[in-house]
Amino acid sequence: MSTKLRLTILSFLQFFIWGSWLITIGAYWFQTKQWSGAQFGAIFSTMGIASIFMPSIMGIIADKYVNAEKLYGILHILGGVVLCTVPMVADPGTFFWVILLNMIFYMPTLALSIAVSYSVLKRQGLDVVKDYPPIRVWGTIGFIVAMWTVSLLGFEKSASQFYVAAAAAFALGVYSFTLPACPPTAKDTPSRSLVDVMGLKSFALLRDTKMLTFFLFALLLGAALQLTNAYGDTFLHDLGSTMETSASIVPEGITGWEAFKLILSALLNHPGDTFSSLAAAYPAIIMSISQISETLFILAIPFFLRRFGIKQVMLFSMVAWVLRFGLFAIGDLQSGLWMIVLSCIIYGMAFDFFNISGSLFVETQTASSIRASAQGLFMMMTNGFGAVLGSSVSGIVIEKYFTAADGVTKDWQGIWLSFAAYALVIAVLFVVLFKHKHTAQETTPDAEHVEPILSVENA
Least confident stretch, 78-87, 292-301, 418-427? 292-301
8-45 pLDDT tens trace: 999 999 999 999 998 888 878 877 887 776 677 778 77
How far is the CA of 112 from the CAs of 106, 119, 143, 335, 365, in angstroms?
A: 10, 10, 18, 44, 18
Residue 67 lies in a domain: yes
Rounded distance between C-alpha atoms, residue 67 and residue 37, angstroms? 41
Q: Which domain holds residue 348?
A: 3-187+196-246+282-454
Residue 277 lies in a domain: no
Helix (H) or strand (E) holding 391: helix 386-401
Contact 442, 309 (CB under 8 A): yes
* The pLDDT of residue 371: 64
Torsion over CA: 214, 215, 217, 218 (sign): positive
Least confident stretch, 163-177, 198-212, 413-427? 198-212
Contact 180, 5 (CB under 8 A): no
Burial class (CB in 10 A: 0-12, 13-18, 19+), 400: exposed
The phi, psi pair for 192, rounded to 5°, reads: -100, -5
* The pLDDT of residue 372: 64
Residue 365 lies in a domain: yes
Helix (H) or strand (E) holding 358: helix 337-365
CATH number of the domain enclosing 297: 1.20.1250.20
* The pLDDT of residue 446: 44
Residue 261 lies in a domain: no
Rounded distance between C-alpha atoms, residue 421 and residue 254, angstroms? 42
* The pLDDT of residue 409: 80
Rounded distance between C-alpha atoms, residue 200 and residue 194, angstroms? 9
* The pLDDT of residue 48: 75
Residue 24 lies in a domain: yes
Helix (H) or strand (E) holding 230: helix 209-240
Residue 88 lies in a domain: yes
Contact 350, 442 (CB under 8 A): no
Q: How far is CA 439 from the centre of its chain?
A: 28
Residue 414 CB coordination number (10 Å): 13
* The pLDDT of residue 438: 61
* The pLDDT of residue 51: 75
- Please give the single-letter amino acid code of residue 133: P
435-444 pLDDT tens trace: 777 665 555 5
183-238 pLDDT tens trace: 887 665 555 454 444 445 666 677 778 888 888 888 888 888 777 777 877 788 78
> Is residue 280 scored above 80 in pLDDT?
no
Domain count along the chain: 1
Rounded distance between C-alpha atoms, residue 18 and residue 23, angstroms? 9
Residue 286 lies in a domain: yes
> Which of the pair, 140 or 78, is modelled with greater confidence?
78
* The pLDDT of residue 257: 64
Contact 164, 147 (CB under 8 A): no
Percent of the chain's residues with pLDDT above 70: 80
410 has which bridge partners? Answer: 403
Rounded distance between C-alpha atoms, residue 393 and residue 376, angstroms? 24
Residue 75 lies in a domain: yes
For the entire predicted model, the pTM comes to: 0.69
pLDDT, average across residues 176-182: 89
* The pLDDT of residue 440: 57
Q: How confident is the model at residue 251 (pLDDT cuts 50, 70, 90)?
A: low
* The pLDDT of residue 99: 93
